[in-house]
């Protein structure tokens, strides 16, 4: 367990620019509710199935479905510029490691007015994994804490779960590809461990 904690500390220091990007996105997150955007007409960018809505309880049920598998979850939004770079990278990694047992799903944090843009985003990136969306009107701060006690809403957020459903670690902000791959290989190799033993590792500078 000590070696695992040391590994996470080493990994999250791999990218010095993650904090700057995370701060930009958390500012956008706080502002999104008050900024009006013009949504593209439905279907203007190609058909994409609507993402099922989830609150905290719904999110926990989705995570529970993957119990027994190493799991990677990405939280993204179209207003988060680093998400635009991270998401296609995670799509590629999810495809690469699926045969080894990695499960992946995404959770979109956009407002209703941005759904046209979000559908276009999914159409463009063609994820091979399911995507859900935060339920409008929920207490977002409570949602963040419930999902991961060390997360305050900074984006993008990527959480890695052990096979037993406990959180192995998380990254805030865009990271180098090798950082994600090391995290994926670790949860693939791990038989499962409790989150209280691992702690709540996060990328530096994202708070």
Domain for residue 41, yes or no? no
DSSP 176: -
Q: Structurally, how many domains does the chain consist of? A: 1
Domain for residue 55, yes or no? yes
Domain span holding position 24: 2-11+18-28+46-198
Q: Give 180-207 pLDDT, tens digit per residue.
A: 999 999 999 988 544 433 333 344 333 2
Label residue 110 exposed, middle or buried (CB < 10 Å: 0-12, 13-18, 19+).
buried
> Cα–Cα distance between 201 and 42 in angstroms, integer?
39
Domain for residue 125, yes or no? yes
- DSSP code string of 41-67: PTTTT---PPPPEE-HHHHHHHHHHTT
Domain for residue 153, yes or no? yes
Query: Highest mean pLDDT: which of 23-32, 34-43, 94-103, 194-203?
Result: 94-103
pLDDT at 192: 56
Domain for residue 207, yes or no? no
Residue 76: strand pairing partners: 108
To the nearest whole number, what is the mean pLDDT of the chain? 78
> Cα–Cα distance between 203 and 11 in angstroms, integer?
8
How much is the average pLDDT of 37-54?
52
State the pLDDT confidence band at 93, using cuts at 50, 70 and 90: very high
Domain for residue 40, yes or no? no
pLDDT at 201: 38
Domain for residue 103, yes or no? yes
Distance of CA 32 to the CA centre of its chain: 18
Q: Give 164-178 pLDDT, tens digit per residue.
A: 999 999 999 999 999
State the pLDDT confidence band at 49, using cuts at 50, 70 and 90: low
pTM: 0.73
Q: What is the CATH number of the domain that holds 100?
A: 3.40.30.10
Domain for residue 33, yes or no? no
Label residue 88 exposed, middle or buried (CB < 10 Å: 0-12, 13-18, 19+).
middle
> Cα–Cα distance between 9 and 198 in angstroms, integer?
11
> Cα–Cα distance between 98 and 96 in angstroms, integer?
6
């Amino acid at each position: 367990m000590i070696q695992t904690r040391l590994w996470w500390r080493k990994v999250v220091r791999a990218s010095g620019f993650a904090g700057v990007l995370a701060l930009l996105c958390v500012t956008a997150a706080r502002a999104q509710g008050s900024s009006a955007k013009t949504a593209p007409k439905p279907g203007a960018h190609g058909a994409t199935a609507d993402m099922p809505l989830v609150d905290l309880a719904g999110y926990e049920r989705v995570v529970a479905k993957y119990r027994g598998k190493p799991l990677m979850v990405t939280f993204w939004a179209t207003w988060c510029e680093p998400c635009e770079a991270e998401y296609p990278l995670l799509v590629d990694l999810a495809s690469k490691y699926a045969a080894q047992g990695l499960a992946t799903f995404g959770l979109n944090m956009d407002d209703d007015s941005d759904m046209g843009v979000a559908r276009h985003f999914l159409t463009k990136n063609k994820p091979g994994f399911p995507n859900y969306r935060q339920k409008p009107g929920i207490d977002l701060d409570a949602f963040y804490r419930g999902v991961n006690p060390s997360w305050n809403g900074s984006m993008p957020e990527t959480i890695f779960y052990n096979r037993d459903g406990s959180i192995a670690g998380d990254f805030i902000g865009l990271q180098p590809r090798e950082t994600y791959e090391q995290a994926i290989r670790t949860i693939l190799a791990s038989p499962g461990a409790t989150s209280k033993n691992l702690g709540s590792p996060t990328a530096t500078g994202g708070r």
